[in-house]
Amino acid sequence: MRIRPKRLQKGDTIGIVSPASPSEEASLQRSLEFLEQLGLQWKFGKHVYDKDGYLAGSDDDRRKDLEDMFADPTIKGIICARGGYGTARFTDQLDLQLIAENPKIFWGYSDITFLHTAIGLYSNIVTFHGPMLASCVGKDTFHELSGKMFQQLFEPMELHYTEDISPLTTVSGGVAEGELVGGNLSLLVSTLGTKFELETSGKLLLIEDIGEEPYRVDGLLNQLRMAGKLADVAGIVIGDFANTEPKKQTAPVSLDALFDHYLGDLGKPVVKGFKIGHCEPHFAVPLGVQAQLDANQKTLTILPGVD
């Protein structure tokens, strides 16, 4: 069982970091009003606005900001400003023992998936796959339900996803329970062959992605298959796959056909259509807690992520 971080209280201070790509300052500033509404204070990482090409500053500076937030006893939770690219560049240098000794809420998604996986493996802490500040909260498209998902940080609550939220489709029937793991598909595949390789045995695997054409999703799913990561899962939760329309293929294969091909005959429950990922609303979920996927009733139930 992973350690569940302590819940937030009104008046707590959260740390804001940019572990991957640079944030748009105006959007990040707009997101602060939402934090005020939650009753939270905030502290920026020293390098949150740094820019180094497609990275938010140097690898060492981004890593140090993250470590400093975990080490700071006044910081009760950490929310990433945005994803993009770059977290994997410093994860092998990250002080995961420091994080293990200072468990606290860590929230983000997309490129942050690499950190979720590493922290889960080596720090044994529940983390949260949820909408980030500059790229989601500070945008005009930020959905009311996305905002409500932050309430799970203030009190332990069981999450229930049904078709009241979005239409769901059963790829393969059945019911399974297991620890919910995963996140962005391309980032999960990038862990293969490293010390941060995704563990899927007996677990419910969440996958989502953005900007990957069907032939790319085909390759990513096939690599998971050949690495033995699909055969031993308990079940699969398919989140949102945004902006995946083929650009040049004259006879494109649909994502639905790919999901059927790779996931339909596993003999495990598989359901697609969850609004989890690069979408609005974005249903935020804790990673590393027990969950149940009922592909017959098309429901996902997830135990609380905070203590």
Six token digits for residue 229: 């990561």
Picking from 179, 236, 184, the residue whose alpha carbon sits closest to that of residue 210 is 184
Pairing mode of beta strands 235-242, 270-272: parallel
Pairing mode of beta strands 127-129, 235-242: unpaired
User: Where are the extended beta strands (E) located within 46-156?
Assistant: 75-80, 105-108, 127-129
User: Which residues, including other chains, have CB under 8 Å from residue 290's CB and lie 6 or more apart?
Assistant: 177, 178, 179, 180, 302, 303
Q: Cα–Cα distance between 139 and 151 in angstroms, integer?
A: 19
**Catalytic residue numbers, as ranges:** 110, 208, 278
Q: Is 208 exposed, middle or buried (0-12, 13-18, 19+ CB in 10 A)?
A: buried
The neighbour count for residue 197, using CB atoms within 10 Å, is: 15
Q: Cα–Cα distance between 170 and 173 in angstroms, integer?
A: 6
